Amino acid sequence: MRRFALIAIPYTWLLALFLVPFLIVFKISLSDIALAIPPYTPTMKDGFAALIQGLDFENFVFLTTDDLYYKAYLSSLQIALISTFLTLLVGYPMAYGMARAPQEWRATLMMLVILPFWTSFLIRVYAWIGILSNEGFLNQFLLWTGLISDPLTILNTNTAVYIGIVYTYLPFMILPIYAALDRMDDSLIEAAEDLGCSRLSAFWLVTVPLSKNGIIAGCFLVFIPALGEFVIPSLLGGSGTLMIGKILFEEFFNNRDWPVASAVAVILLLILIIPIVLFQRNQQKEAEA
Amino acid sequence: MNTSVFAPWNDPDEKPLIRFKNVTKRFGDFLAIDDLTQDIYAKEFFALLGPSGCGKTTMMRMLAGFETVTEGTIELAGKDIAAVPPNQRAVNMMFQSYALFPHLSVYDNIAFGLKRDKLPKDRIDARVAEMLKLTRLEKFARRKPHQISGGQRQRVALARSLAKGPKLLLLDEPLGALDKKLRQETQFELMDIQETTGTTFVIVTHDQEEAMTVASRVAVMDEGRIIQVATPDGIYETPNSVYVADFIGDVNIITGSAKAAGEDKYFVDWGVNQAPILATSERPFAEGQECHLAIRPEKISITKDKPDDAENAVQGKVLDIAYLGNLSTYHVQLPGGQVIKAQTANTRRLSRRGITWEDPVWIRWNATAGVLLEK
C-alpha cells in the first residue's frame, strides 16, 4: 500500500500535467474552427454524444494538402539535426577541457557554463541581434580588422538560427558529456597508450566510446527542444527560415485556428516520440550494463 | 631451488636489462627520486617495496614512460629510453586499478594491444587464446569486465599486459584489491606465470610479505632512495640498516656501544646493571661506537628457568602475550623497562602453555642470532 502511494505521486503528476493536457489538445485537434469562445466546436456544452459525433480527422487531412506543413516539419528536422551536431562539435571539446582541468578550477568552469541561465533566455537571444545584425558588433569588428569590406548578412538567415540554438542549448550538451568524462578513470588512457595507442587513437578508442552515453543524452537534450523551437527562429531567422514552432505560433495567434494548431502540435509530438523512445532505450541499456 | 642458481646480479658479465643511472625526479620542489642508480636483470622478479610516497610508483611510471626523468638516464636493453613515448616502449604495465576498458569484452581487452600492432586476425586470435589459457579465463572471454569477479579482473589485467610479450612487465600493486586468501593464491600464480613466460617483472608493493614471496630481489625504498637491494632472505636476515630491519617483519632493536670481543665478535653495552650482549658481526665497529642490535623475535627463545649455557640470557617479566594460532609472541619487559618480543611456535596445545602473564621468565639468544647495525 505504501509502495502504491509512493509511485502514485509521479503518476498523478504525469497524469495531471502531461496526459490530461495532451488529451485536451488532441480533442481540439479533432474539432472544427468556430467564431466563438473558445474558438472551436463542438465543446462540452453540446453534450457528450454531440461532442463525440462532432470530432473528425479533417485537420490532419488538411495538413497533408498544404505542402507548407510537411516542408516545415522537414526543415525543422534538418535545422534541429544540424544544430545538434554543431552543438556537439562545440560542446565536446569544452566538456573535455572541463573534465581535464585541475580539480580546483572545475567548480568555476561549471559555474561559467551555467551562468547564462541566470539571464532571461529572451534577452540573451535579443542580444544576438545586436551582435549579428549588419551594423552589429561582429560586422563592425570584422570591418575594423579589414577582413571584410562589406558587412556580412547573418541575421535573419538560417546561420543566425544555428548560432542561436548552439548558444542556447550548449549547456545541455556540455553537462552530460562532462559527467561521463569526469567519471572516467585516467588510468584507462594511460593503459591504452601503454598498449600502443597514440594520444589520438586512445581518444577515439577509449574516451569517445566511454563518453558515448553522455553524447547521446546531450544530443537528445538539444535535439528535442530544438525541433519545436519558436523564439530563436522568429527572432534570429528570416522569412526563409521555416520551422514548425513558428507555423504553430502563426496558426494559433495570427489565424486563431486552434484546431489546426493543435493538429500541428500532435504531429510534432508524434515525431518527437521516436527520439524519446530511442533515448529511453539508451538509458535503459546503460542501466542494464 | 631455482633462486639459488638464478643470481645474474652476482655475475659481472651479465648485462642488465634496465639500468637506472643517477636518476633524479622532481615534481616542483618535491624530490621524488634522489640520484638513484640501480640495475635490473632479464628474467628477474624485482620488487620495489616501501611506504607510500617513497618514490616506488614514480620509478615504475618512469619505466612505463608516463613520467619524464629530471636528471640522469634510464636504459632498457642498453638504449636510453627517455625519448621513447609509452606507446612505443617494449614495456607493459598492469595498473593498480586494472584499468580494464569497461566497454570491451575480456577478449577485446586482451586483444587491444595486439590490434594496435595491426597483427592479422588469426594471430591475434591465437595469442588471445594463449593468454586466456595462461590465466584460466577461457570461459569468460565474452564477458564484460563488470560481469566478472575481482580476482578474474586481476587476471584479465595481467593477460592484457602480457599479451604483447613485453620485455618488461610493470605491476603496480597488482594484488592490492584482492582479499588476503586470494592474494596469497595469486602470488603463486604470478610467480608461475613469470617463470612460464620468462618475462622480467618489476612489481611495486607496500606489502612486505608479498614482496618477499614473489620477488627474486627486493629493493627497500625510502624518500626517493633505495636503502637496500637483496634477495628476500638477504633482506630479512642481513638488513643493512635499522630502517630495513624495522620495515621488514618484526624486530627487536637494542641500542648500545660496541666493545671488541675477539675476531668478528663484539660486546654490546646496552644498559646499566646489564651484562653486555655478545654478538657477531662481519662489519667492523670501533671501540665504543654506537651500534644497534637487530634480533628477530623468532630467534629469541623463552624459558621459565635460567638457561645454563646461553651466550646471551636476560631475565624479565611477561607483559603481554599475542596468540596468533600457530605462533605466540611474548612481550617481555626487562628490568630497565625495555620490551623485547620473543616468538615461539605453538607446537603444543594452548592449555599446556607453561608461561602466562606477569611470570618471571628468561629470554636467550645466540651471538649469531642478531645483526649489528651502524644506523
- Using DSSP's 3-state secondary structure scheme, residue A204 falls into helix
Chain centre distance of CA B245: 12
* Residue whose cell numbers read 577485446: B108
**Distance, CA of A239 to CA of B266 (rounded, Å):** 104
Are the Cβ atoms of A196 and B113 closer than 8 angstroms?
yes
Strands B91-94 and B168-172: parallel
Residue B66 forms contact with A (CB below 8 Å): yes
B164 shares contact with chain A (CB less than 8 Å): yes
Of A183, A245, A220, the C-alpha closest to A87 is A220
Q: Which residues of A fall below an 8 Å CB-CB distance to B?
A: 185, 187-188, 190-198, 201, 205-206, 209-210, 212, 289
Residue whose cell numbers read 632472505: B233
Say if residue B132's pLDDT is above 90: yes
- At A5 the pLDDT is 82
CA distance A99 to A112: 14
**Minimal-distance CA residue of chain A relative to B143:** A289
Q: What is the mean pLDDT of residues B119-127?
A: 93
Report which DSSP code applies to B233: H
Nearest CA in chain A to B87: A196
Touching check for B144 and chain A: CB below 8 Å?
yes
The cell for A33 is 474552427
Whether the CB-CB separation of A263 and A60 falls below 8 Å is answered with: yes
Residue type, A138: L
Please give the average per-residue pLDDT across B109-116, as a whole number: 94
Please check whether residue A235 is in contact with residue A125, taking contact to mean a CB–CB distance below 8 angstroms.
Answer: yes
CA distances from A276 to A211, A221, A222, A273, B22 (A): 20, 10, 12, 5, 62
Q: How large is the angle between the packed helices A137-145 and A121-132, nearest 10 degrees?
A: 30
- Residue B200's CB is within 10 A of a number of other CB atoms, namely 23
- Which residue in this structure is represented by grid cell 560542446? A91
- DSSP alpha helices (H): ranges in A54-195? 58-65, 67-100, 103-114, 121-132, 137-145, 158-183, 186-194
**Which residues are CB-neighbours of A61 under 8 A, at least 6 positions away?**
none
Largest Cα span, chain A: 76
Report pLDDT for A233.
92
**B176-185, B223-232, B276-285 — which one is most confidently predicted on average?**
B223-232
Report the distance separating Cα B374 and Cα B282, nearest Å.
Answer: 12
* CA dist., res. B55 & res. B32, Å (int): 5
Which amino acid, one-letter code, is at B280? T
* Cell numbers that stand for B75 in this block: 636504459
| Percent of chain B's residues with pLDDT above 90 | 43
Residue B352, pLDDT score: 64
**Domains assigned to chain A:** 68-288 (1.10.3720.10)
Cβ <8 Å between A190 and B99: yes
Phi/psi for B83 (5° steps) reads -90, -5
**Chain A environment of B88 (Cβ under 8 Å):** 196
Helices and strands, counts by H and E, chain B: 9, 20
CA distance B86 to A101: 23
CB pair distance less than 8 Å for B101 and A195: no
In chain A, residues with a C-beta closer than 8 Å to the C-beta of B128 are: none
Closest CA to A153 of A167, A125, A132, A137: A132
Q: Show the cell assigned to B296.
A: 628477530
- Residue B3 is predicted with a pLDDT of 46
Sheet of B168-172: strands edge to edge?
Answer: B91-94, B168-172, B200-205, B45-49, B217-222, B225-230
What are A64-106's pLDDT values in tens digits? 998 989 899 999 999 999 999 999 999 999 999 999 999 999 9
Sheet holding B301-303, edge to edge: B301-303, B360-365, B312-323, B327-333, B339-345
Which of the four pLDDT bands, split at 50, 70 and 90, describes residue A179? very high
Instruction: Give SS3 for B270.
Output: coil
Q: What does the alpha-carbon distance between residue B256 and residue B276 come to, in Å, rounded to a whole number?
A: 9
Higher-pLDDT residue of A283 and B367 is: B367
Q: How large is the average pLDDT for residues A36-61?
A: 85
For residue B339, give the C-alpha cell: 620490551
Whole-model pTM: value is: 0.81
The answer to whether residue B272 scores a pLDDT higher than 80 is no
Largest CA distance in chain B: 79
pLDDT at B351: 65
Q: What pLDDT, in 10s, does the model give residues A136-166?
A: 999 999 999 988 888 888 899 999 999 999 9
Residue type, B51: P
Query: Which among B128, B63, B134 is positioned nearest to B94, based on CA atoms?
Result: B63
Looking from the CA of A246 toward its CB, the CA atoms found within 13 Å total 20
- Could you tell me if B339 and B332 are in contact, meaning their C-beta atoms sit under 8 angstroms apart? yes
Q: How far apart are CA A238 and CA A242, in angstroms?
A: 9
CA dist., res. B217 & res. B230, Å (int): 5
What band does B111 get if pLDDT is binned at 50, 70 and 90?
very high
Distance (Å) from the alpha carbon of B97 to chain A's nearest alpha carbon: 8
The residue with greater pLDDT, A139 or B352, is A139
Q: Residue B271 above 80 pLDDT? A: no
Q: Interhelix angle for A212-227 vs A158-183, to 10°?
A: 150
Inspect the interface and report whether the beta carbons of B101 and A188 lie closer than 8 Å: yes
Q: In whole angstroms, what is the distance from residue A127 CA to residue A160 CA?
A: 12
Instruction: Give Cβ neighbours of residue B55 (< 8 Å, ≥ 6 apart).
Output: B25, B32, B33, B34, B36, B221, B223, B224, B225
Q: Is the pLDDT confidence value at B336 over 70?
A: yes
- pLDDT at position A213 is 87
A245 by Cβ neighbours in 10 Å (0-12 / 13-18 / 19+) ranks as buried
Q: Is B217 helix (H, G, I), strand (E, B) or coil?
A: strand
Whether A187 and B97 lie within 8 Å, measured CB to CB: yes
Model confidence pLDDT, tens digit, residues B181-215: 888 888 888 898 898 888 999 999 988 888 998 99
pLDDT score of A2 more than 80: no
